[in-house]
């Protein structure tokens, strides 16, 4: 028997014994994260197939407990609620890395989705995120213009998101839309399947 014949025979033997997977396994469930805040909890589901680098960065921050004690520092009714950058005294928390823009993934900034905040540089997103509380198509990518990367959506606790959206805000630390009573993230953690 030559080498090729031996490999074919070995493959057929393994296949016959059921040691080789005959079909693809079902897709892993989408990762989920629970945010426990001072006004209640909400859960998000992430889209790793559509925004792999963004989701990997976000989950690493969650696993590192980065978001604990940060606040929702930008709340604009009928637009977005944003967090991930400041504590209750408006001291910034610097993120350890940035992530490339993945806004051309076909996902839209529709109500209830979560997206990365960034500066004018499309690849400047780091830890700050926002939840769309309205359909915000103006934030989507268009041909030749990157948008804001959508990487998940709220799947439970949208009432808490609405409570945050409708909170009273003021100008503080040079920022508009800061809730007058701090809305703090106590903990963000993966929800185990």
DSSP string across 172-189: ETTEEEEESS--BEEEEE
Task: Render pLDDT for 77-120 as a digit per residue (tens, 0 to 9).
Answer: 999 999 999 999 999 999 999 999 999 999 999 999 999 999 99
Question: How confident is residue 47, by pLDDT bands cut at 50, 70 and 90?
Answer: very high
- Residue 68 CA to residue 188 CA, distance in Å, equals 7
Could you tell me the residue ranges of all domains in the chain? 25-190
pLDDT confidence tier of residue 15, bands split at 50, 70 and 90 = very low
Largest CA distance in the chain: 82
Q: Phi, psi at residue 88, to the nearest 5°? A: -65, -20
pLDDT at 27: 64
pLDDT tens string 119-146: 999 999 999 999 999 999 999 999 999 9
CA–CA separation, 52 and 50 (whole Å): 6
- What gap in Å lies between CA 114 and CA 131, rounded to an integer? 4
Q: Are 133 and 165 in contact (CB under 8 A)?
A: yes
Does the pLDDT value for residue 63 go beyond 50? Answer: yes
The pTM for the full model equals 0.85
What CATH number should be reported for the domain whose range is 25-190? 2.40.100.10
CA nearest neighbour of 131 among 109, 113, 105, 107: 113
């Amino acid at each position: 028997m030559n080498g090729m014949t031996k490999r074919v025979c070995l493959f057929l033997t393994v296949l016959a014994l059921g040691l080789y997977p005959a079909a693809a396994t079902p897709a892993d469930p989408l990762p989920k994260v629970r945010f426990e805040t001072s006004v209640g909890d909400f859960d998000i589901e992430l889209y790793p197939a559509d925004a792999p680098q963004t989701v990997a960065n976000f989950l690493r921050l969650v696993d590192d407990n980065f978001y604990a004690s940060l606040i929702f520092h930008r709340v604009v009714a009928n637009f977005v609620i944003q967090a991930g950058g400041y504590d209750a005294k408006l001291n910034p928390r610097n993120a350890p890395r940035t992530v490339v823009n993945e806004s051309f993934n076909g996902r839209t900034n529709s109500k209830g989705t979560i997206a990365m905040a960034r500066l004018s540089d499309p690849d400047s997103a780091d830890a700050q995120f926002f939840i769309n509380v309205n359909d915000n198509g103006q934030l989507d990518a268009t041909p030749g213009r990157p948008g804001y990367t959508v990487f998940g959506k709220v799947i439970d606790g949208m009432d808490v998101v609405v409570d945050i959206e409708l909170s009273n805000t003021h100008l503080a630390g040079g920022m508009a839309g800061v809730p007058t009573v701090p809305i703090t993230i106590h903990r963000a953690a993966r929800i185990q399947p």
